[in-house]
Amino acid sequence: MTISSEQQVSKVGVVGGGLMGSGIVEVSARAGQDVVLVESGVDSARAAKARLAASLERAAAKGRIESAEGVLQRVHVVSDLGALADREIVVEAIVEDETAKVALFKELDAVVEDPRAIFASNTSSIPIMKLGVATSRPGQVVGVHFFNPVPVLRLVELVPSLLTSPETLERSRSWATGLGKQPIDCQDRAGFVVNALLIPFILSAIRMYESGFASAEDIDRGLVLGAAHPQGPLALADLIGLDTTQAVAESLYEEFKEPLYAAPPLLQRMVAAGLLGRKSGRGFYTY
């Protein structure tokens, strides 16, 4: 299907400006799009703005953009979902929690006025169908899954549910490609392609560490030096966030009931303790 200029989206909304949402805002604004970011509170809005500004300053220092200010002019950070009324695509990037996402998709359905607007979720593992049927427009709901760090990694997984329309899928593909991303197509199964393979690998590393088999540093060094990974699995879990890692493991386990997807006790205890990785300052490493 060819996407006409009239079907292309340029008014972007993002809900949730954490690790991923701020990255999605950044790549959209850098591609020249007008972006409204909705965050839930004053502190998280401030944190999102700081993360975005720091990343843009780094891009400017490397000569990848002319100036951070130029890009920031296209970004509006608000706390009211009503500001998304005129958006052509809204990307949900809130916490990996099905109840919270379903509630948000219901609200988005009520506030977004464009009858053809795309409702995209950046979920790592929650069925797109569950988000689709929370709205009156399941044909316009699709998974558009970015990877962390968003400004660096080129992949986007495109995940239609059984009810997603071909037009929604192709408009999403065209949008992601316009951001400089390379889409792959996935079925609506927990974990899609990458997390279904990556999360059990990370969980195996956590079990290895938990059993005292090797230190965190040696497990990570082993995979970096012996398998040419950019970082080891425990450092990667800290980058993803241990809460998100656990939530994705739980979705995979619920769907497939395979022990390899079960969150190890150590991961569960670390999350309960608030040791969430980089974002909380401590996980398998201290930051």
Terminal C-alpha separation, the chain:
47
Interface pattern 238-277 for ligand NAD (x via CB under 6 A): --xx--x---------------------------------
Q: Which of residues 4-63 bind ligand 3HC (CB under 6 A)?
A: 55, 58, 62
Residue 16's binding partner out of ligand NAD, ligand 3HC, none, with CB under 5 to 8 Å set by partner kind: ligand NAD
Residue 28 is among the residues annotated as catalytic for this protein: no
Q: Which two tokens stand for residue 33?
A: 């799009």
The distance of closest approach from Cβ of residue 242 to ligand 3HC in the complex, given in angstroms and rounded to an integer, is 11
Q: How many residues bind ligand NAD (CB under 6 A)?
A: 27
Binding of residue 122 to ligand NAD (CB under 6 A): yes
User: What is the spatial distance between Cα 14 and Cα 175, in angstroms, rounded to a whole number?
Assistant: 14
Q: Of the listed pieces 27-35, 37-45, 168-176, 201-209, which binds ligand NAD according to CB under 6 A? A: 37-45
By the rule CB under 6 A, 177 interacts with ligand 3HC: no
Residue 231 partner contact from ligand NAD, ligand 3HC, none using kind-dependent CB cut-offs of 5 to 8 Å: ligand 3HC
86/11 Cα distance (integer angstroms): 8
Residue 230 interacts with, from ligand 3HC, ligand NAD, none (CB under 5-8 Å by kind): ligand 3HC
Instruction: Tell me which of ligand 3HC, ligand NAD, none is bound by residue 174, counting a contact when its beta carbon lies within the kind-specific cut-off of 5 to 8 angstroms.
Output: none
- Could you confirm whether 124 is annotated as catalytic? yes
**Considering 145, 172, 250, 251, which one is annotated as catalytic?**
145
State the catalytic residues. 124, 145, 157, 195
Contact residues: ligand 3HC, CB under 6 A: 55, 58, 62, 124, 147-149, 151-153, 195, 198, 230-231, 236, 240, 244, 248
